[in-house]
């Protein structure tokens, strides 16, 4: 039986190596978790580094406010062209 679209997405998501930009646990640093490839790509440019820094600031503020999840914008879905 073939997998549904959502099941394929979850399977792909679980195969990715997720980490923080520093490689240290988020509990100690307060940094965001993201796929390793995305972190490497963002670290290459100054605008990418500023996006990571902004996401980390938002995550730290949300954690300080007692929230488990922070809306920092790094995990937005890609949008395709409208037809």
Tokens of 68: 């488990």
Per-residue model confidence (pLDDT) at position 15: 83
Q: Is-contact 36 15, C-beta < 8 A?
A: no
At 61-74, the pLDDT tens digits run 999 999 988 888 88
Whole-structure pTM value:
0.73
Query: What's the number of CA atoms in the CB half-sphere (13 Å) around residue 29?
Result: 14
Q: Does residue 43 form part of some domain?
A: yes
Residue 27 C-alpha from the chain's centroid: 15
Q: Does residue 35 form part of some domain?
A: yes
Q: Name the average pLDDT for the chain.
A: 85
Tokens of 45: 């440019």
For 36, the 3-state DSSP assignment is helix
pLDDT at 81 over 70: no
Instruction: Domain count for the chain, please give it.
Output: 1
Full residue range of the structural domain in which residue 60 is found = 30-65
At 7-37, the pLDDT tens digits run 887 777 778 898 999 999 988 898 998 889 9
């Amino acid at each position: 039986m073939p997998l549904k679209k959502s099941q394929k997405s979850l399977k792909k998501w679980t195969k990715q190596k997720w980490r923080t930009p520093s490689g240290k646990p988020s509990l100690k640093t307060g940094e965001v978790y993201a796929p390793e490839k995305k972190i490497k790509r963002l670290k290459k440019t100054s605008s990418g580094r500023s996006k990571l820094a902004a996401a980390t600031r938002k995550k730290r503020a949300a954690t300080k406010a007692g929230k488990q999840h922070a809306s920092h914008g790094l995990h937005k879905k890609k949008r395709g062209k409208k037809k």
